[in-house]
Amino acid sequence: MSDGLTLREKIAARGIESLSDADLLAVVMGEESASTTTSADAEQLLEAFGGSLTAISNEEIARLRMTAGLGLRRAERIAAAAELGRRVTAQQSEQVQTIESSDDIRRMFAPRMEGLQHEECWAIFLTASNRIIDSRRISQGGVSGTVVDHRLVVKRALELLAPQIIVVHNHPSGSAQPSGNDDQITMRLREAAALFDIRLLDHIIIARGSHFSYAAVGRL
């Protein structure tokens, strides 16, 4: 350590929140003595991913273990810590009761969607004051797409007496820009919902580190 303290001494003296990203990785990697070698490996790992903890947390174990000579055990520890963080964030996001902007939807769904290797589509059903009544997955597909049945979405909204809907899905490709198929799904949902005086408030696409909102760009 540059200041002469071991990681354990840093944690005891200053709290774990004082650790750098590389220090945190070294702790997770689990060497009992938090050795200089472990800290160097953590710094090398962070450098390999451009200094991004998000990129590390989204990497598969099989590829992670090959980076910076981590090996399987330490790669599994890092993956487990990342998954724990995602689950904590997902549980916190579930406490959101009212939607004020697309950022609220991103906070709710990014933790569960950004790391997926397949597409999922969810519908959020809202009151007239944007309070969440229910949210549920309406389809799951492959890497390049999923089939969304607009009739099922509208049917559920009618069952819940929900006057407003928001739809959200992910792009495993990493780009949040909508495809032609996304545009078609959006228009079909909007038109089908409008027949029953139900409003499609937004269709949001989530990718790693970014999102796209049809409403925000005036396309709804």
> Within a 10 A sphere around the Cβ of 160, how many other Cβ atoms?
14
Q: What is the pLDDT of residue 114?
A: 82
Residue spans per domain, the chain: 7-91, 97-213
Give the model confidence (pLDDT) of 189-217 as tens digits. Answer: 999 999 999 999 999 999 988 899 999 99
Q: What is the pLDDT of residue 36?
A: 63
Q: What is the pLDDT of residue 120?
A: 93
Q: What is the pLDDT of residue 35?
A: 56
Q: What is the pLDDT of residue 92?
A: 63
Give the model confidence (pLDDT) of 16-45 as tens digits. Answer: 888 889 888 888 888 644 456 788 888 889
Q: What is the pLDDT of residue 14?
A: 87
% residues pLDDT > 90 (the chain)? 39
The runs of H, that is alpha helices, within the chain are 7-14, 21-29, 36-48, 53-57, 61-64, 72-93, 102-113, 150-160, 180-194
Contact between residue 54 and residue 209 where contact means Cβ atoms under 8 Å apart: yes
**Which positions ≥6 away from 6 have C-beta within 8 Å?**
33, 34
Per the listing, tokens 């809907």 go with: 165
153 closest CA partner among 170, 131, 168: 168
Average pLDDT, the chain: 86
Listed as ranges, residues in the chain with pLDDT below 50 are 1-2, 32-34
Task: Sort 123 into a burial class: Cβ within 10 Å, 0-12 / 13-18 / 19+.
Answer: buried
Q: Which CATH architecture has domain 97-213?
A: 3-Layer(aba) Sandwich (3.40)
Burial 167-199 (b: 16+ CB within 10 A, else e): bbbbbbeeebebeeebeebbbbbbebbeeeebb
